[in-house]
Amino acid sequence: MHKNYFEQIKRLPLTLILLISLICSIGFIVLYSAANSNLQPWALKQIVNFCIFMPIAIIIALIDLRIIFRLSYIFYFCVLALLVAVELFGSTAMGGKRWIDIGIVKLQPSEPIKIAIVLMLARYFHSLTVDDLSKLHKVIIPIIGVLVPAFLIIREPDLGTGMITLIVSSIIFFAVGFRIKYFIILGVTALVSLPIAWNMLYDYQKKRVMVFLDPERDPLGASYNIIQSKIAIGSGGFFGLGLNQGSQSHLDFLPEHQTDFIFATFAEEFGFLGGMFLLVLYFSLITLSLLIGVNCRTVFSKLMVIGITATLFSHVFINMAMVMGLVPVVGVPLPFISYGGTMMASMLMGFGLVMNAQVNGHTNLTNI
């Protein structure tokens, strides 16, 4: 028993742990700088979150894969219930009802639901055959399992997280070999539904789309965030202005400089060179995760790794594109960098599952 336990520890992907720790450390530094060289109110809390949830991620990596397999549906329905609770009893802040206040902490179920959906889909498709994918009644179940939480998330409103949920789910559907005709049907349905979706958007969301098409439309209103973000990134130049030297964040020109627009804060102080270094770290983390997935023997493990990696990629791509004005502002944080306890916890636990695939990827799930 002890020998088996130590063998598992030896199989832990130390490079992956190091990459995550390095990215998180950059986040601590940026949050420290964003608060004018103060650990409060963001950096210290983020460090505490990391110190709590990184060990939990390692524990998840050492859990028997069969236990994770069995608990996948239960975890999904528990988090889905929390999403429903947000709809009914959630606390409102910053124009959205996204949190459940339990006194000690505020939970944001839209973060762990991304991990829960990945586990649910991985569990469901693990037991399906290629022939099953051509049967509509087999295909419709996971689609409903994705659309219900996505609808609840978008209603909060949290359009960015809802989009990521749909993107990651689509990647998993593609990975399992969904028929092209289903993607075509879903695509046509989405196009036809665009007018309805547009009318369902809140006024501020419509303004974000309009100012994306015409950034100078409302420079002191809806366009303000993205204009200030571009100024921050541009003023950083090649080498950056230096730690704690960014004027956009320290003079409060840049809103949400500790969350959604933290990359602009980072780019202003560390420049193009720093931005490229961070991108290399993310790229290395994504590549290493995919290599772990390739070496997994079970469909469940492969899809689990693909889903978690796709979640990371979607967040990084949308956030960086958003702060540079390449896509509309949708409120997507930068993983391991942006301030937020639930986001940090969800991503670390998600990569705990990726590490589990490395440690226990050989486990036989046939008889479960």
Residue 320 Cα to chain centre, angstroms: 13
Higher pLDDT, 207 or 14: 14
How do the domains of the chain map onto residue ranges?
2-360
Q: Could you give the count of Cα atoms lying within 13 Å of 144 in the half-sphere of its Cβ?
A: 6
Judge whether residue 151 has pLDDT over 50: yes
pTM: 0.92
Rounded to the nearest integer, the mean pLDDT of the chain is: 88
Percent of all residues in the chain with a pLDDT value above 90, rounded to a whole number:
54
**Residue 52 and residue 325 in contact, taking contact as beta carbons nearer than 8 Å:** no
Higher pLDDT, 223 or 56: 56
Give the Å distances, CA to CA, from 213 to 192, 242, 329. 21, 33, 12
Judge whether residue 265 has pLDDT over 90: yes
Judge whether residue 43 has pLDDT over 80: yes
DSSP string, 132-172: GGG-HHHHHHHHHHHHHHHHHHHHTT-HHHHHHHHHHHHHH
Query: What does the pLDDT read at residue 1?
Result: 47
Judge whether residue 91 has pLDDT over 80: no
Query: What does the pLDDT read at residue 269?
Result: 94
CB neighbours of 271 closer than 8 A, spacing ≥ 6? 236, 237, 238, 239, 240, 241
* Cα angle: 202, vertex 206, 210; to 5 degrees: 170
What's phi and psi for 107, nearest 5 deg?
-95, 140
The string of pLDDT tens digits covering residues 186-225 is 788 878 877 777 777 777 778 887 877 777 777 777 778 8
Give the Å distances, CA to CA, from 120 to 183, 291, 355. 20, 22, 18
Judge whether residue 2 has pLDDT over 60: no
* Cα angle: 7, vertex 284, 174; to 5 degrees: 90
- Which residue is listed with tokens 């306890």? 341
